[in-house]
Structure 1
Amino acid sequence: MRMPPGRPRSPMAWAATAMLASLLLLALLGPLVCGAAADRPDPSVVLQGPSAAHPFGTDNLGRDLLARVAAATRPSLLLALAATLLGAGAGVLLGAATAVLGPRTRRWLGALINLLLAFPALLVALFLAVVLGAGATGALLALALASVPGFARLAQTLAAAVAGTDHLAAARVLGLRRHRLLLRHVLPNIAEPLLLSTTTAAGTSLVALSGLSFLGLGVQPPGYDWGQLLNQGLERVYGQPLPALAPGLAILYAALTFQLLGEVLAAAVARRGPAPRTAPPPTTPSGPSEDGLVLQIEDLVVELPTRDGVIRPVRGVSLSLRAAEIVGLVGESGSGKSLTALAVADLLPARARVSRRTLRLLGADLATMRPGDRRRHLATGLAMIFQNPASALNPALRIGTQLTETVRAHRGADRAQALLEATAALHRVALPPTVLRARPHQLSGGQRQRVTIAAGLMVRPGLIIADEPTTALDVTVQRRITGLLSDIRRDTSTAILFISHDVALVGEFCDRVLVMYAGTVVESLPSDRLATAARHPYTRALVESVPDLGTDRDRPLPVVEGAPPDPLAPTPGCPFQPRCGHRQDRCAEEPPPLAVLDPAHRVACWHPLPAPAVAS
């Protein structure tokens, strides 16, 4: 049993190792050394008690019981391990699949697991053993099938915690198939408790199989295991207890070994990752659509059913991006910024309803594409950078594995080529190749964010959606991340949709700014006009609430009074009018359209504010 390097073994680990080694040694050598004595009858010593010649006594044919207990180690262990592995394999796949299947299939699968759990496993094993017929094969299959629901429920519960993580959502954006999502992103993150449960269940299976043999439903003569030997010695338990207790002690010893082994392995589980390579090759980005627009959205609407009714957190959003353009999307929390991005990436919750007049990415109409083609197109044309890089990266996999799986899945690159491209992507984000061997917890917040950017560059996307990528970072690291995105835009002509609530950062970093409020775009203007020429009262209030070095510290900071509208009870008219100090009668009657002030500036307001003469 391999332990993590540099960590001394505990007494429990030493005990488990010694006990496991003794069982394996007995299973390998028992039939070879003791097989002849175990099967050789001797009428002169029938039913004798313990003696120097026969330490455990003899059976009704004069065969040595110590030799028979030793020889029965191999079939007893093999049957228990086979039943455990069959039951665990089927149950884990059944339960973990609920994290990657569709909502309807997931519900039916969960109902099936609940139904199977309603029957006690031991009674199911007894029933199936009778139905399948007495014998080793029937007992093995009966116990394996009876253990499937327990493993399925455990895997389902563990997989539910992984199903909502950002790294699984990022893998879906990459267009990975369900079997790869299951094997790479779900099972590694639930392996430790499953390993503990499986090794512990091996001991339970051993006891259950021995019980079936004890009842005459398991191994049949002339074969034998510990359960059958226990049955044969039961008649002598009062006069000569050792012949009956010896197989029972062997069962107890093996079950305790598996229990200790599970405890030790659960603490020592680890995964290997790929080795890094050097010599990065050059990469090129995907091209824009024919009309020059990388992303084109018109009248995007998102509806979410809730217990209290249907809400529309995104209402009629229209935006477009050209190659090498950085567009900022700002607004308060709950304004619909992230949901707009998730709608583009096809990552909305299963119950969400999306409607749009136009949704094109790199010239392809996503609404008319088949689901498989849409996933592949999004996986290679779009990259998502999530707000929390710690949850966006799979904690169970090394960085090298997470960077290479996309190109291996979608471009058929072999491992060596994928590692070369991963090294090139890390080089572009100013990280050394040694990062490939690290796991996410070994990196700082800024390094993890750069790794997520490198992962996006692996597919050579035409569009990068950065959903508040600098929120959890300090100012110095924020500058590095925004500078890195600017360099990527300059070198690859990739369009970037930058979502943030930091008005000052967006005004400095982006080419154009879209301001969202209550699910709609209320103003669109060049970033160099944001601080000096914003015309919507909401945009002006956001700008004025940003402090600078000249702010009077003796006066309270300006804030946007009031609260956003209730999504379950939208009011007619302009959504901002209850909080607007410049509202008039018309503002409460009909919502304003996004009107053109000049070719580069649009505002959704019936009475736009005059442009201030001096910058705020």
Structure 2
Amino acid sequence: MALLKKPLGVTAAVLLVLVLGLALMAPLLWQERADAVHPTEILQGPSAAHPVGTDLLGRDILARVLVATRLSVGLALLATGIGVGVGLLLGTAPTLLGRRAGRWITAVVNIAVAFPTLLLALFFAVIFGVGAKGAVLAIGFATAPAFARLTQTMAAAVSGRDFIAAARIAGVGRVRVLVRHVLPNIAEPLVVSATMAAGSALLAFASLSFLGLGVQAPGYDWGRLLGEGLAQIYIHPAGALAAGVAVVVAAMAFNLTGEAVARGFAAMDPDKPRGVVAGTPAPVGEGSLLHVENLRVSYGDVTPVRGVSLALRPGEAVGIVGESGSGKSLTALAIARLIESPGRVDADRLEFLGADLRHGDHRELLGTSLAMVFQDPMTSLNPTHKVGRQLAEVVREHQGADRRTAWRRAVDRLGAVRIPDAARRARQLPHELSGGMRQRAMIGMGVMASPRLIIADEPTTALDVTVQRRVLELLADVRAAEGAALLFISHDVTVVGQVCDRVLVMYAGRIVEDLPTASLARDARHPYTRALVAAVPSMTTDRDRPLAVIPGRPPDPHALPAGCAYAPRCPRATGRCRTEDPALTVHEDGRRVACWHAEAHLEGAAS
């Protein structure tokens, strides 16, 4: 309603109501007058009886222009509907079929977009034939490429958001992801584009009829009337211009409406963003929950995850630490099977609950027994759906629960993760919750189906210290209540030390040390692990001295050094470190370390 208080909104509304009103009422009011032939009044100029004159048969031109509104607008809207429908199918093909299968459709769309719409319409008019039906199909298919390109761009941007990955982890199929999660988030620009496309379709349809390719006699639309009046434009200009004015006014009505709708959406939400070294296999006990050997993630010639091996037992909490770019999150995404083309995942072994994740469709297993909590809860929850609805989707998808049962379960899980007034909060949208509540809701979504493994990818990074502590306590409580194992990813070794039983330290895409949490602070053997621990200030840190830092920068995955990747930053590096990459070996106490000088640390500690 606020739009109607602004000049643009008022103008668009008046013009649109006028055009649509004429389309509905004009044939009822003026059809007889428009068809009446008067041989004695041929080609008369404007008069009181005929405000814009008569045509070659003495028919009233103004009445014919008004009556033609229904056919002109109706056919233009029909063509727009075809264009929008075909454009949606082409634009969402990469999301539905995957990047590899959708690549050819994207290429065809890119080629078609390079041609002007009217030129494409003429091309399709030759294919579909002369007449109203052929013109509707021609304009519809000519409109589709631009709409498909917009849909592809918007869908690709939304598909990379965390809430899409969360939906896939929950086992939601591609069609349901598209309909419930992608399309609602791109609906606003699509509606605006479709509204403006109607104006363009109206002009294109009038052009085809003017050229004799559209509506045929005895039918008539604005384009045909414009063509008939053009022959007499020098002796009877008013009759020729009437249809042209109608086309301009109607096209302006649709275009202004699209502009007004776009501004309305912006006002409602002004801030809305438009060479591999195989590691030694991890020690595995009886009844391993997750078993990974030599996991590799590659993008062409670049391999950001190189030979990761790890194992988790039921109920165990294992942390993965390292600087940004070390491959922590990619490892988690590869385990959850969320790496898409052009990324490639290879492993000698990748088993979860005894199932080989390298082969077959394990959507049901990953959607129920594996839960994933992402770093930013605002991007992990769909902003267009209520929080409770998103949680309920998990049990509706996998357990076939009805809507009411799924909703009760969602409210119960929100209460279980300590969200006050859970029933009311379940009916709210994500932006109505605080950051801490959104993160708790994500954890609640993870435990909707009683998972055996929770992968938490830096779940406390975006939270303040107080909320961070509560979330960590909540994860511990959830683990105890559900008996779930935890794979906790963080760059903060202090946080990992509070939550986990064992720590995996990653650097340059591989594990360089695997040690108990109790040994992290004083008994780490890899220089990188010790540097990470030293870089965290404590209450006893001397504030008069500069904070400890790790010199240098992590290596570029495109150009890894020949030897140990940490050698350029390591104070203990020798010539051997710079030429030979140490393997991740198991030591006598069961630890795994990839360092030529791990034993030297033990000797230094003993002395």
Q: 2:406 aligns with which of 385, 402, 418?
A: 418
Query: What secondary structure, in the 3-state scheme, does the structure 2 residue paired with 1:236 have?
Result: coil
Q: Residues 364 and 131 of structure 1: is their aligned pair in 2 closer, same or farther, counting only changes over 3 Å?
A: closer
TM superposition shift of 1:474: 1.0
User: Which stretch of the first structure deviates more once superposed, 131-140 or 475-484?
Assistant: 131-140
Structure 1 Cα separation of the partners of residues 153 and 30 of structure 2: 46
Match of 2:602 in 1: 610
Q: 1:331 aligns with which of 322, 338, 343?
A: 322
Letter paired with 2:502: R
TM superposition shift of 1:561: 3.6
TM superposition shift of 1:76: 0.9
Contact 1:384 1:466 in 2 (8 A): yes
Superposition TM-score, scaled by structure 2 size: 0.88
Structure 2 Cα separation of the partners of residues 488 and 341 of structure 1: 20
Match of 1:192 in 2: 188
Superposition TM-score, scaled by structure 1 size: 0.87
After TM superposition, the structure 1 = structure 2 runs for residues 215-230 of structure 1, keeping only pairs within 5 Å, are 215-230=211-226
Spell out, residue by residue over 1:329-365, the C-alpha distance to the aligned partner (whole angstroms, 9 max, x if none): 1122222211211110112242333332221112212
Spell out, residue by residue over 1:267-291, the C-alpha distance to the aligned partner (whole angstroms, 9 max, x if none): 3459xxxxxxxxxxxxxxxxxx995
Query: What secondary structure, in the 3-state scheme, does the structure 1 residue paired with 2:231 have?
Result: helix
Matched residue pairs, number? 585
Q: 2:14 aligns with which of 15, 18, 33?
A: 18
TM superposition shift of 1:492: 1.0
Structure 2 Cα separation of the partners of residues 51 and 8 of structure 1: 37
TM superposition shift of 1:94: 0.6
Contact 2:209 2:221 in 1 (8 A): yes
Q: Residues 117 and 519 of structure 1: is their aligned pair in 2 closer, same or farther, counting only changes over 3 Å?
A: closer
Q: 1:440 aligns with which of 387, 406, 430?
A: 430
Contact 2:391 2:444 in 1 (8 A): yes
Spell out, residue by residue over 1:198-238, the C-alpha distance to the aligned partner (whole angstroms, 9 max, x if none): 11111111112112222222111221112222222223333
Q: 2:174 aligns with which of 170, 175, 178?
A: 178
TM superposition shift of 1:196: 1.8
Query: What secondary structure, in the 3-state scheme, does the structure 2 residue paired with 1:531 have?
Result: coil
Contact 1:522 1:594 in 2 (8 A): no
Q: 2:293 aligns with which of 298, 311, 335?
A: 298
Letter paired with 1:363: G
Name the Cα RMSD after superposition: 2.8
After TM superposition, the structure 1 = structure 2 runs for residues 295-374 of structure 1, keeping only pairs within 5 Å, are 295-305=290-300, 310-367=301-358, 369-370=359-360, 373-374=361-362
Contact 2:285 2:313 in 1 (8 A): no
Query: What secondary structure, in the 3-state scheme, does the structure 2 residue paired with 1:134 have?
Result: coil
Q: Residues 536 and 39 of structure 1: is their aligned pair in 2 closer, same or farther, counting only changes over 3 Å?
A: same
Contact 1:159 1:186 in 2 (8 A): yes
TM superposition shift of 1:80: 0.3
Gaps of 5+ in 2: 267-283
Structure 2 Cα separation of the partners of residues 489 and 31 of structure 1: 71
Match of 2:510 in 1: 520
Letter paired with 1:43: P
Structure 2 Cα separation of the partners of residues 466 and 18 of structure 1: 54
Match of 1:488 in 2: 478
Letter paired with 2:492: D
Query: What secondary structure, in the 3-state scheme, does the structure 2 residue paired with 1:610 have?
Result: helix
Structure 2 Cα separation of the partners of residues 603 and 290 of structure 1: 19
Q: 2:453 aligns with which of 444, 463, 467?
A: 463
TM superposition shift of 1:8: 6.5
Structure 2 Cα separation of the partners of residues 8 and 418 of structure 1: 41
Match of 1:273 in 2: none
Spell out, residue by residue over 1:401-433, the C-alpha distance to the aligned partner (whole angstroms, 9 max, x if none): 433333333333333333222222222223333
2:539 is the alignment partner of 1:552? no
Structure 2 Cα separation of the partners of residues 409 and 269 of structure 1: 32
Structure 1 Cα separation of the partners of residues 603 and 490 of structure 2: 24
TM superposition shift of 1:501: 1.2
TM superposition shift of 1:583: 5.2
User: Which stretch of the first structure deviates more once superposed, 68-77 or 398-407?
Assistant: 398-407
Letter paired with 1:471: T
Q: Residues 488 and 612 of structure 1: is their aligned pair in 2 closer, same or farther, counting only changes over 3 Å?
A: farther
2:156 is the alignment partner of 1:160? yes
Q: 2:394 aligns with which of 406, 411, 414?
A: 406
Spell out, residue by residue over 1:138-166, the C-alpha distance to the aligned partner (whole angstroms, 9 max, x if none): 11111112222222222223333234332
